[in-house]
A and B are shown apart, each in its own frame.
Chain A
Amino acid sequence: MTNIVRKLKKWNVLLLCNKHSQLNHHKCTVYTPSYKRTVDDVEEKQPVHKFIGKHRKRVSRIHVCGLTVTGALGVLKLPLPENKLRIPPKFQQNYPYHLIIDDISHIACGYGFSILASKLKDQIKVWGCGINTNSQIGFHKSRKTKIKKGETHTKSYQYLMEPTPIPLPFKDAGKTRVIDVACGRAHSLILTDKEGIFAMGNNAFGQCGRQIIEGEVYESSAKVHRIPHERFPSPVVKVVCGMDHSLFLTQTGELFSCGWSADGQTGLGIAEPVPEPTQLRGDLDGVKITQVSSFADTSLALSDTNDIFGWGSSEYGQLACVTESTQAMLPTKLPFDRQKKIIQVAAGGTACLLLNESGDVWVWGYGILGKGPNLENAVWPRRIPRTLFGFSQFKPDMHVKQIKCGLGSFAAITNTGELYTWGKNKSGCLGIGSARDQYFPWKVLTGFEVVDVSCGVDHMVVKSKSLL
C-alpha cells in the first residue's frame, strides 16, 4: 500500500486523496495536473478506430432552397410527398436542402428553373429541372400522351421535377466540356469549350441568337441552336442571360449581345429585337471587358481599367447617375470614384452590387438594399458595413469574395466560405430559415464551405464543399 500525499503548493494546504488510503492504488487521477495524462491498462487495450483517411478528397455538394412547386429545386418529394397523410407537402423550402447530384461544376438559376453543368466529359453534360414550358431545359419526350390525329410532334414534359440530363447535339461529346451556363426568363445558354454555345428556349426576341420565326411554338420544341466559337473574333469565355436578352464575352474582352432591346438591354442603340449576336459599341469601344453581369433588364460590365459600364433599363434608378430617362440605350461609363480596384459587379432586378478588392460591398438602386428598412433608394453606391458580413475584432481578416444578384435577393460569399443573403425573401429563396424579408445580410447555415451561389427569382442554388 502506497500513501501518496499531494501538496498543493499555492495554497499551502495538504490534501490526502481518500483513494490513496486503499490497497493497490498507486496513481491518483483526481489531482494530477491536467496536461499530463496517465494511461492505465484498460485504456491501452482499447482499439483505435479509423474513421477517415489522410488523403480523402473533399466532396462537393449542392444545396437548394426556395419555391418547390415549379420543380426548380429538383426535389420531387417536397411538393409531392409519397405519403401525403404522414408528410404534408412543402411548398417553400426556407433553409438549404441537400440535392443529391455529383460532380457539378457550374450552376445557373433562371426564372423558375435551374441548370447544373457536370464537370466530367461524359455524354451527360448538363442537368436541368424546373419550368419547361418554353423548352428552356430541352425536349424530354413525355411518355404518357399519345400522338393525336393531325399532330406532327410528340409532347415534352412541361415541368421537370427532378434533375434530368438535357440532350444536346454534340459532334463529339467525349472531347468537349461545359465551361459556363446561363439562364434567363425562358431561355438558356450552355457554353462548351470546343463546340460553341448551345441556346434553347424562347426566341421571340432573338435571344437564342437565331432568326425570329413568326408564330413559332416554343412548347415541346426540340430546337437547340448552336453558335460556334468561330462566329466571334475570339473564343467566348462567358455567357450571361438577362430576362430576354443574352450577352457573350470573348477572350479578348469584346462583348456581344442579342435579344430584346426595347429598354436598351442589348446596348446597341436600337429598340428592335436583335436576332444575331452583335458587338457592343458606345463607351465600350476599344475597352477590354473582364466581367459582365445581368439578371433582368439592366446590365453591368467591368473593364480591366477599373471602369464600370452600365446599360439597359433604369426604371428603378440603377443608372440614374448617368441618365434621367428610364433606360440607357448605349453602354455608358458610370462615374464612380474608384479608389480601390473593383473585382466584381452584379446587376439584379432593381438594384446593383459592387465588390472591391478589400472586400467591401457597395449597393445602389431600389428595393431592400441591405442597409436596414429605412434605405429603399440610392442613386450613388452605399457601402454595407463589414461587421454585417462577420467582420469583428476577433476576425479582422474577414471580407467578401463573391457577390451575386437575383431579382430581389442578393448573396455574398466571404473568404472563409460563409454565405450571407439579404433582400426580398420570395418563397424562402434566401435560405435563412424563415419567410421574413431580410433587411441586412444574414448568414445562411449550410454546414459546408460555400464555393458558388446562384440566385433566381424565387429560388437559390448553392454549391459548396465538404469541410474535410
Chain B
Amino acid sequence: MVVTYAPTAHKLLQGVFAVYKPSGVAISSLLREVQGRLVQDINTLEQRPQKQMILFKPASETHLTKGSLLDCDTSEPSNDKLHHMVPTYVPDWFDHPLVQGPRYNNDSFHISAGHTLDVHACGLQVLGLQEQGEEILQKMKKLNLPRRYQVKGQFGLASLTFGGESRIVEKSTWDHITEEKITRVLTVLQGKHRNACMEASGLDLSSQQAYRLASKGFLRPYVPTDSVIIDMKLTSLKLPEFILDITCIRESCIFIRKIIHQIGLELRSNAICTQLQRQQDAVFTIHDELTLLGKNVNVNNVIDSINHTNNILRKSVLKRKRYFAKTSVKMLQQNKSDILFPEPSKNSTSETVNKAFDHLASS
C-alpha cells in the first residue's frame, strides 16, 4: 500500500523500525539524517489543501454562484447590491507553503533510538518515531531480549580501546592458535556468564519453578545485572583474523570489544576487534528487507516496516509473558515421556522421547 497523502502518512509514522547504521557515523547524526530524509520525503507528497478564510465581501464584487455562503436572492433591488456584504470563502494566503515554509519540519518527527551502537560499530539500530515509538522502546528495554553481534577480530595486537582505531600497545605471536583452542577458551569464558544468568533470574534456585524454567531453556535475568553473554561461537578462522558470533543481554560495544581482548589474553596472545556488527536485536534482523539503509529511508518504506514490527512485537511480548506464566507448567507436567517404562511397552518411548526433545529444542 502506497501512501500518497501526507497527513495520513504522518499519522501512520508512529512506532518502531530498524535501520542499518554504517560505522563512523554517530547516533546523533544518524537520527538527524533519518529525520531529514523523512521530512524531505513527506513534503513531496500531496499536502493538505490550502486553508480557506471567510471574508465578508460586497455582493457585487462576488460572483453569486461562486464562493457564496448564503443563497443570495437575485430578486433584491439593485440599489442594495453595493452595500450588501456576503460571507465568502477566500484562500488564506497565510497558509500557503511558500509563505509558511514546508508543511513538515524536523520538529514534527520526534525520533528516539533503542540500544545505541558505538561510533565505530555498525549494524542494526532500532529507532522509534513519535511518543508511541519511544514507549515501545522503553518496554523493549525492560524485556531484556538478547542481541546478536558478528565480531571480526585480529590476533596479535592489543590496543588501548580494544579496537582497531586506537594506538597499538602490544604485539605478540599468534601462530600457535587453532580452532580447538579457541572453542575451549570460549566454553570456559561462557561458564561464569551462564551461572550468573540463572542466578539473576531472581528465583530461589531450590524451588520447583526454577527447575521448570531452567529445564525449558535458559533462565533469563530479570533482576538488573551486568552484561551477560548467552552464547559465543567461532564461525571462521583465517589466522590472524577470526569471526565470532556473540549473543548477549544488557551489553555495550566496549564490553564486547573487551571480551575479544580477554579471549586474546587467554590464548596467550592478543586480540583487537576490527569490526563490530550488530546482526540481531530482539526480533529485528539485519537481513530483513524491512531493515532500511539510509538511502531507502522514505515515508512508505518506514510505514511498511513499522506495520511489520508492530505485528511481530505483539507476538513476542505475549510469548514473554507466557514464559513465566503458570499455564506453561501444565504443558510440562502432561509430557510424561521423561519416564522409562518397563519392557514390553505398548507405546515405544523413543517417539515420545524424541517429540519431547524437539519441543524442548524449539522453545
Contacts and interface: CB of A to CB of B under 8 A. Distances in A.
A383 B340 contact: yes
A10 B295 contact: yes
A387 B217 contact: yes
Interface stretch (A131-139, A160-168, A389-397, A452-460): A389-397
B172 A50 contact: yes
B206 interface: yes
Contacts of B294: 10-11
B357 to A, nearest CB: 7
A315 to B, nearest CB: 21
A34 B362 CA distance: 36
Contacts of A381: 339-340
Contacts of A362: 340
B217 A8 contact: no
Given A48-B172, A467-B184, A467-B188, 15 more contacts: A37-B274, A49-B171, A49-B172, A49-B173, A51-B172, A51-B268, A339-B349, A380-B341, A381-B339, A387-B214, A392-B218, A393-B362, A394-B233, A440-B215, A443-B194
Interface in A12-45: 12-13, 29-31, 33-35, 37, 42-43
Interface residues of B, number: 69
B123 to A, nearest CB: 12
Contact of A395 (B164, B206, B231, B362): B231
A150 interface: no
A468 interface: yes
Contact of A335 (B173, B266, B267, B342): B342
A180 interface: no
Interface in B90-125: 120
A468 B194 CA distance: 22
A449 interface: yes
A337 B345 contact: yes
B346 to A, nearest CB: 11
A368 to B, nearest CB: 9
B208 A447 contact: no
B334 interface: no
A37 B165 CA distance: 8
19 contacts: A10-B294, A33-B23, A34-B23, A34-B120, A43-B168, A54-B175, A56-B176, A335-B343, A336-B342, A337-B342, A337-B349, A373-B207, A373-B208, A387-B216, A390-B194, A393-B361, A416-B184, A438-B205, A468-B267
A445 interface: yes
Given A339-B349, A416-B187, A50 B173 contact: yes
Contact of A383 (B25, B154, B181, B338): B338
Contacts of B165: 29-30, 34
Given A56-B176, A394-B230, A448-B188, A10 B22 contact: yes
Contacts of A396: 361
A387 B360 contact: yes
Given A10-B294, A31-B24, A51-B172, A386 B214 contact: no
B33 A11 contact: yes
A83 interface: no
Contacts of A35: 152, 274-275
B254 interface: no
Nearest 10 A-B pairs (CB), nearest first?
A372-B211, A394-B231, A52-B268, A385-B215, A51-B268, A34-B275, A49-B172, A381-B340, A54-B176, A339-B350
A442 interface: yes
Contacts of A43: 168, 171
Contacts of A392: 217-218, 231
B348 interface: yes
A418 interface: yes
Interface of B: 22-25, 33, 120, 152, 154, 156, 164-165, 167-168, 170-173, 175-176, 181, 183-185, 187-188, 191-192, 194-195, 205-208, 210-212, 214-218, 230-231, 233, 247, 266-269, 274-275, 293-295, 338-343, 345, 348-350, 353, 357, 360-362
A447 B339 contact: no
B101 to A, nearest CB: 23
Contact of B195 (A29, A339, A393, A445): A445
A371 B336 CA distance: 13
A439 interface: yes
Contacts of A337: 340-343, 345, 349
Given A49-B170, A381-B340, A449-B184, A373 B211 contact: yes
Contacts of B191: 418, 443, 445
Contact of A467 (B171, B181, B269): B181
A12 B206 CA distance: 58
B218 A387 contact: yes
A233 interface: no
A341 interface: no
Contacts of B293: 10
Nearest to B349: A337
Given A11-B25, A387-B218, A445-B192, A51 B269 contact: yes
A418 B190 CA distance: 11
B188 A447 contact: yes
A228 interface: no
Interface string A426-439: 00000000001111
A393 B361 CA distance: 6
Given A56-B176, A385-B215, A468-B268, A46 B168 contact: yes
Nearest to B20: A10
B84 to A, nearest CB: 59
A33 B353 CA distance: 51
B205 A436 contact: yes
Contact of A443 (B24, B120, B195, B357): B195
Contacts of A282: none
A345 to B, nearest CB: 13
A380 B339 contact: yes
Contacts of A393: 361-362
A417 interface: yes
Nearest to A398: B187
Which of A29, A339, A438, A445 neighbours the largest number of chain B CB atoms within 10 Å of its CB? A339
B187 to A, nearest CB: 5
B353 A383 contact: yes
A152 interface: no
A439 B184 contact: no
Contacts of B267: 468
A195 B168 CA distance: 60
B169 to A, nearest CB: 9
A373 B206 CA distance: 7
